[in-house]
Structure 1
Amino acid sequence: MKKTLVLLFLAFAWMITPMESQAQKAGDPMFKVPLGIASYTFRNQWKNGVPQTLDIIQQMGFVEFEGGAPQGVSPEQFRKMCEERGISIPSTGTGFEQLESDPQAVADRAKALGAKYVMCAWIPHKRGQFSKEDADRAIKAFNAGGKVLKENGITFKYHVHGYEFQPYEDGTLFDYLVKNTDSRYVSLQMDVMWTHFGGGDPAALLKKYGKRWVSLHLKDFRKGAPKDMTGLTGPENDVVLGQGELDFPAILREANKIGIKHMFIEDESEHELEALPKSIAYLKSLKY
């Protein structure tokens, strides 16, 4: 009898533990990571002065920055300017060709910034016609470059841009990319808007590829705007988070289950200074 009770208890515990470990208390915030910003958001501001732009970033409450040093400022200088404002640079970017030709230079620049991640946001291809040959070139460059970066203590991540969802075999060329890149050297960053724009389901893809994802770009897409496979659309289609087509509660639920530690708002509109406070308020308003 005692043995039977013990077995029943263990069976019951096995059934409830996974549910309890993933459960969130009602009212818990859904946005759980440090507030991050992608450099491209401030593309129209840097010309007004790097210190002045960083002051705006600090005043808005951002504590993580993804990007490189603006023109005219060295990586070391930029890192110091950020640190003086309580802003870290966990991640920076690289162009595809430089990763392909000189990954060590990419690693050296990342280390000068203090970054632990390097992302690549674009694979060269003919507009709207991303092909298996383009994917194969990227797989080779990502595996080789990612290995060099790892040897330097840096994680490489590919930033999904939407054109990778061209159909291929029983899935897409994105599935082909993930399958054929080495998980030891190649991680993933989801831009949730570009994923949606290209026909992908952000929450479902987060669930499908789990720990391969290490960060997110957060932006929203204007309701009813046309979508295609180019990975390109106008700034008028970038809207305040929560005002467009993206299902952010579903995205954040999956991201939290995976344990993603870095999320960067990226506003590509032409009124970013007005939009950002609204996007921040929306993220902070989301509760379980």
Structure 2
Amino acid sequence: MMRLTLLLGIAFYVGSMVSLNAQKVEKSIGIQLWSVRDDMKKDAPGTIKQLGEMGYSFVEAAGYKDGKFYGMEPLAFKKLLNKNGLQFTASHCGMALPDKENQDEIMQWWDVCIDAHAKAGVKYIVQPFMDEKGYGSLEDLKRYCDYFNAIGEKCNAKGIRFGYHNHDKEFEEVDGIVRYDYMLQNTRPENVMFQLDLYWIMVGEKDALTYFKNYPKRFELWHVKDEKELGESGKMDFEPIFKESALAGMKEIIVEVERYNYTPLESVEKSLEYLLNAKYVK
């Protein structure tokens, strides 16, 4: 009898683990490695291993420099990720708006950058910033839009999608026009997609659902973020946003944690668990 009870207990435990692992496999959730930037500096292989064990599906890098990712050649970094059950799907990097004097230099930088990402099999390159010109006049913002269109065309030629990631300043007005709206209206959908940061649009006092309706299919990547760990602040209502994911054109969701109640690795694990337990995340 004791042996039967033990066997049943083991079977229940194994079944529970299989169910949990299936849940993790079913939900494709990425992690922005900026969330664990100090850990990546100290021990990139060990950090990647822990992220894979947590159940993340892919990463968005934040460590590209001179043709390498976190000091590793493109194929070496991809191999490290794949070894730990992770895909190399997206990457944050970029250069500020060039002047006439450094136009050729900046474009050459992009050629090297795009080639490195193509070697690694990256699907998305996302620029997560503009310099002060982007937050100045509409004329300079238009130059940024033209620049992004040109970079997007370069990325398209290598089978990569180019996009832009917002913070809150993009939702301020210049000459009566919201910067983010202007960017959406002056970039070509075939060249530039947008990575919507759900936390920063809230800080910017705008509504994600309104943008989905006004600019459908433009928001292929989302940064799912809160003030600290997901669900921590009580300010973020993710469910109605996720219900309109098809209208938005969302293809991938990516966790980013920038402030912490715990260690960064604990924080990103708690954030992953929050999404795994959210029924509205498919």
1:181 pairs with 2:180: no
Residue of structure 1 equivalent to 2:36: 42
Aligned match for 1:149, one of 155, 160, 163: 155
> Within 5 A, what are the aligned runs for 1:187-202?
187-202=193-208
Q: Deviations over 1:90-148 (max 9, x none)?
A: 11122223995333222102112210111000011179x54323412211110111111
Residue of structure 1 equivalent to 2:219: 213
SS in 2 for 1:123: coil
AA of the residue aligned to 1:59: E
**Alpha-carbon deviation of 1:279?**
1.6
Aligned match for 1:136, one of 142, 145, 148: 142
**Alpha-carbon deviation of 1:259?**
4.6
> Within 5 A, what are the aligned runs for 1:1-288?
33-67=27-61, 68=64, 70-97=69-96, 101-102=107-108, 103-125=110-132, 129-168=135-174, 171-221=177-227, 239-244=228-233, 245-270=235-260, 271-287=263-279
Alpha-carbon distance between aligned partners in 2 of 1:117 and 1:70, rounded to the nearest angstrom? 15
Alpha-carbon distance between aligned partners in 2 of 1:273 and 1:40, rounded to the nearest angstrom? 11
Q: Deviations over 1:53-95 (max 9, x none)?
A: 1111111111111114543222221011111111111111222
Q: Deviations over 1:37-60 (max 9, x none)?
A: 001011010132221111111111
Contact conserved, 2:89 with 2:123, CA < 8 A, in 1?
yes
Contact conserved, 1:160 with 1:189, CA < 8 A, in 2?
yes
Q: Deviations over 1:222-265 (max 9, x none)?
A: xxxxxxxxxxxxxxxxx221122111112211224445221110
Runs of 4+ residues over 6 Å off in structure 1: none
SS in 1 for 2:241: helix
Contact conserved, 2:97 with 2:130, CA < 8 A, in 1?
no
Q: How many residues align?
A: 240
Distance 1:98 1:154, change over 3 A: farther
**Please, what TM-score do these two structures have when normalized by structure 1?**
0.76
Contact conserved, 1:46 with 1:70, CA < 8 A, in 2?
no
Distance 1:146 1:259, change over 3 A: closer
Alpha-carbon distance between aligned partners in 2 of 1:57 and 1:211, rounded to the nearest angstrom? 30
AA of the residue aligned to 1:253: K
Alpha-carbon distance between aligned partners in 2 of 1:90 and 1:71, rounded to the nearest angstrom? 15
Alpha-carbon distance between aligned partners in 2 of 1:210 and 1:267, rounded to the nearest angstrom? 27
Alpha-carbon distance between aligned partners in 1 of 2:170 and 2:152, rounded to the nearest angstrom? 19
Q: Output the aligned Cα RMSD.
A: 2.3
Distance 1:98 1:83, change over 3 A: farther
Contact conserved, 2:138 with 2:175, CA < 8 A, in 1?
no
Alpha-carbon distance between aligned partners in 2 of 1:281 and 1:82, rounded to the nearest angstrom? 21
Mark the runs of 5 or more structure 2 residues left unpaired by the alignment: 1-22, 99-105
Contact conserved, 1:33 with 1:263, CA < 8 A, in 2?
no
Mark the runs of 5 or more structure 1 residues left unpaired by the alignment: 1-28, 222-238
SS in 1 for 2:84: coil
**Please, what TM-score do these two structures have when normalized by structure 2?**
0.78
RCO comparison, higher one (Cα < 8 Å, 6+): 1
